[in-house]
Structure formats: structure tokens, C-alpha cells
Amino acid sequence: MGMLKNYIKSTSGNFAMIAAISVSVLLVAIGATVDFTSAAKKQNALQNMVDNATLAAAQMKNGKPKEMQILVNKMIAQHNTHNWPIKAKVRLENDIVYVDASTQYKTVMMGMVGKDKVGLTANAGAPLSKSTPINLALVLDTTDSMYGDNIRDLKIAANEMVDVMGKSEAKVRMAVVPFGKYVNVGMKNKNAHWIDTTKDGTYTEYEHCYDEQKTIKKRECRGTGQYRNEDIIVDGQYRGTRRIEEQECTPGEYEPTGRRICNMRRTNYTWYGCVGSRQSPDNERAPYASRHIPGIMNERCGTEMLPLVTNLRKVTKTINDLEVKGETYLPSGVIWGWRALQKDAPLTEVQKSYKEKRSTAPINAMVIMTDGQNTLSQNNGQITHNGRNEDNANERTERICEAAKKDNIQIYTVGYRMGAGRGEMEKLLKSCASEQDNFFDAKNAEELKNAFKNIADRLSITRLTI
């Protein structure tokens, strides 16, 4: 027992020394953690300041490096609530604004081991807003179901979008593609190399024969005094009810005379600007590629489309002139919206180079707006859209959307007051959109305006490059 007491007595000083060292190491470790956390927070704050300042500099009109430097210094100072000493430098290379910034973090505990300061840096870059042109095609439903409030609301929303795009720092070109059963490409394209309108101005004659009959007693109908309500369905949408009186009819009586009557009939062909679809697989491809696009004879299909233009007053006029007509074949509108944004014939406006000093590859975007489901389709072997296979039309719409997205076109979709067939139409529009957030479900005029404004704002945003 005595020996143990002596050992403890003789080693007590060592225990105290070891304990002191352990506590010191522990304090340094805790201090390092505190300093690391604080430095990370300051680093994030510095990066946010640099990001905001870089975006502001990139959006300057005719900005020069010296002017950008002044703005960057001002932006950083406004957000530097802790008044840290920050050095920032602006560089302009290949129409991209770069900002490099640095500051220091004074450590709290790391000074104990000789580390009293930690250097922090932040970098960001953004393309000059003027150097990223925007090509935007508005693919707009002008079918019968858009009559009245819907077409009025669309005109207001689309025009407000044009106003927003017109204020963008970027070079903006816009196209308008009204669609229904067909798209009207305009009479000016009658002799274009990519279209087939050879039947225009021609006619066909054929013999029509029938057996003559004489009327013994005419068919007669009279009201019964009883009424029923009948739903009014236009282009797949419920438009109210109407009250109809029940009729009671007696059939007519006829008998043949024994004479066979034949006469010549004539069909004249006139082209009014409407185009149909080529055969598969060309009906899902945008370029002409030596496969003529068929002109549809004796059909009128509403407002003429407007290819890409820089004069946005022409866009506004086309929107204001929109007229409703016909039923819905969405693939027709989507493929012509795609054609407005690709380089090859039939539409080649994208090829026209910008004469701005600062220019780069444009953003190509399409907005598809509709209020109802596909009610028409293209039958095999036909160039017209007279079929009634909704599934076929939906599948073709989806495939054309996918092809356009692979062609680097950003697609936004807007459903407006979707009625009958809402579930399938919502699914289709979500599938066509480039991203989940690119689909908008607008249930009233205000939501429609917000949808178009949201898209315009997103297209106008300058994005960071690093």
C-alpha cells in the first residue's frame, strides 16, 4: 500500500501536464471548427455579392470595363453589411464579364497555432446580355373553342409578353404561328421551292349519275310542345346548353320514274395559304429536305403566320389580327413553330446573322398555347387532317416536341381553361415542355397573363457561366 501511495505522489505532476496538453489540443480543435464554419459563411456571402455584381455588370447597356468596375464596386459595397475589406477586379473577355474578388477572414482560435488570417476568394462570369439573342415562336391555338373571352384573353397576355421582350437587353426576334386544323403560311409562298401548290387554278370534271324520283308525299314535321336540353360542344369544349323542341315527323313518299340522269360536274381548286402534312416519316420532320410540303386546296385556315422578325410591332399586329376557325390539330402548329426556329427551308430567317458587334448563338424558344385537346388527326396516305384518331394526334405531337427539343429548342407549354379531355391534354403539354416548370396551367385571364410574363422574364435572365 505504501508503494502505491508513493507512485501516485511521484506521478501526479505528469497527470496534470498530460491533462493540460489534452485540454489545449481540444481547445484548438474546437477553435478550428468554429473558424472553419465562420470562414465558410463569409465565403458564401462573398460569392453571393460577386454573383449579383457580375449579373448587374453583364446587363449594362454598352458597358465598358471601367464603367463595369465602378458598378461592381458599388454593388459589392451595397451588400457588404459587415464592411469587410474586399478587393474586386472586372475582366471582359470574348463578351463575357468576369469578376474576381478576395478578402480575408481573421481567425478566432487558430491564431494559437500561428494561423491568424485565412484568404477567401470568389469568382463569377456572365455573358453580356446583348450577346445572347433570343428567337421566340408563339404557337397559338385559334380554333373555334377560343371564340369570345378566350381569344381576347390570349391577345392581352401575348401582347404584354411582347412588351416585356421588347425591353430585354438581348436582341429579340419573334414569330407567331396561329394554328387550328392547318397553318396559313401566306399566299406569298405560292411559288416557293419547298411547297406543292400545282393544283391551284386547275379543275377536274366527272360524270355524276342518279335515278330520277318523283315525290308522292312530302316529309312533314311539327313541334310536340315538349323540350329537351342539349349540350353545346365546340372543339372538345363544353360551351353551355340549348333548349330544343322535340319534333314529330311523317316520312315522305317517293317513287322512281325509270329515268337515269347523268351530268358533268366540276371541281375548281384554289389555294388560300393553308398547308397540310407530308407522309410518314416526313410529317414529323421540320426541314424541307427535297420533300415538298403540300398546299391544301379550297380550305381557309385563319390568320397568316408571321416568321421571325425584329420589328415587334408586326408581332403585335399579327396577335391583334388573330381570328378563330376550325378544330384542333396540334402537330400542325408545333412543327411550324419548330420550322420558324431552324436553319433549313422552308423558313430560313434564323440564318440571317446579327450585325451586332457582340453576338453569340441565340436562345431558341417556343411557347405552345392551347385550350383544348386534339380533335383531328392525319390518316395514313392523306395530306389532310380529317381523321378522328385523338391518340394518333397526341402521339405525333409528343414525337415532334421531342425532336424539337433535341434541336436545342426550349419549349414552354400553356394550357388555358382546358375543358373536356383535360387529363390527357395536361399530360401531353407536360410531356412537350422542356422542363417540369415550363408547363403552365392557367385557369383564368390573370393566370394566363402571369404565365406569359413568367416565360418572358425567364428568357430575359442572364445566367452565370461559372
pLDDT digits (tens, 9 = 90+) for 318-366: 999 999 999 999 999 999 999 999 989 999 888 764 444 445 678 999 9
Give one DSSP letter per residue of 336-399, joined into a string.
HHHHTTSSSTT--GGGSPP--SS--PPEEEEEEEESS----B--TT-SS--B--HHHHHHHHHH
172 and 300 together in one domain: yes
Residue 9 included in any domain: no
Q: Where is average pLDDT lowest: 97-111, 242-256, 310-324, 371-385?
A: 97-111
- Of the pLDDT bands very low, low, confident and very high (cuts 50, 70, 90), residue 81 is confident
In total, the chain counts a number of residues equal to 466
| DSSP label of 398 | H
**SS3 category, 400:** helix
Which residues lie below 8 Å from residue 121, measured CB to CB, with a gap of 6+?
46, 100, 101, 102
Cell of 124: 463569377
Percent of the chain surpassing pLDDT 90: 60
Q: What's the pLDDT at 79?
A: 86
Which segment of 31-45, 159-173, 375-389 scores lowest on mean pLDDT?
31-45
Cβ–Cβ < 8 Å for 232, 242: yes
Given this model, what pLDDT does residue 66 score? 86
Domain boundary among 219, 243, 268: 268
What's the number of domains the chain is made of? 3
Predicted local distance difference test score (pLDDT) of residue 158: 98
Residue 48 shares a structural domain with residue 196: no
Q: Are residues 178 and 292 in the same domain?
A: yes
- Residue 139: inside a domain, yes or no? yes
Regarding whether 368 and 300 lie in a shared domain, the answer is: yes
- In this prediction, residue 23 has a pLDDT band, given cuts at 50, 70 and 90, of very low
Give the cell for residue 61.
447597356
- Predicted TM-score (pTM) of this structure: 0.69
113-117, 165-169, 296-300: the lowest-pLDDT one = 113-117
Same structural domain, 102 and 158? no
Mean pLDDT over residues 38-60, rounded?
83
Average pLDDT over residues 226-254: 82
| 7 belongs to a structural domain | no
**Range(s) of the domain holding residue 264:** 203-268
- On whether residue 122 sits in a domain, the answer given is yes
Q: Quick one: 48 and 186 in the same domain?
A: no
Q: What is the mean pLDDT of residues 205-221?
A: 93
Residue at a domain's end among 238, 268, 298? 268
Q: Give the residue ranges of DSSP H helices in 167-308.
A: none
Residue 3's pLDDT band (cuts 50, 70, 90)? very low
